[in-house]
Structure 1
Amino acid sequence: MERAITGFSRDGLADWFATLECGHRQHVRHKPPFFNRLWVESEEGRAAFLGQPLNCVRCDRLELPDGFVVYKHTPEFSEQTLPAGLRRDHAIKQGSWGLLHVLEGSLTLHIHGAEHQ
């Protein structure tokens, strides 16, 4: 899934990684011939890539970003008590993630922009 680059940092080995709008981090190494990203070696090059899309494989796998913390819990719902708003198109605030626990039965979830269903 394509996500915009919002920043850059170095890891403990001094390799560059990009922070993506989803909260995931992804290495953006310049290691020819496998990774040809000379742009990551200069401040100007990195600045030019801010806002550019990068494929986020962790979003493709529906993984929560490291370090995210719970800010809200909802009550448990049954088929009878599930709010009507959750039965239709529902969105959470930008930069948030939702974690669903199905305790009994099944759930069909359609994620806009994702290949998963």
Structure 2
Amino acid sequence: MLRQERRRQSRVEKEVLFKLSEQDISTPRDLITTQSINISLTGAYCRVTRFIPVFTKVQVLFELPSDREKSHEEETFLACEGTVVRTEVEMEESKKEYKIAIFFEEVSDTTLNVLNRIMLSS
């Protein structure tokens, strides 16, 4: 029997850099830089180097796509809250990684628009 897709938003296989924190984003030492395996308007699937339990609340920080002509300006970021909904251990020969699925919560319209632009860009 085929498993029915439960997601409301389609995912795209896209590597998007972003940062995570189990605490307030203003604590830079706790930021984890990661890259999505796939992403949608409601969540992301990514690799991290440390264990984050299911149901952990995280802050997600996306870098806005930069305008090459205005590269001298400061980088701009958008944040949203999320919850880890799946954690998988990946054992490779030389390192231990975790794949986590994050469900985005309390996402502003601005953040949704930026995510949509990121997903549609080539």
Give the TM-score normalised by structure 1. Answer: 0.23
> Which structure has the highest strand share of the two?
2
Q: Which has the larger radius of gyration?
A: 1
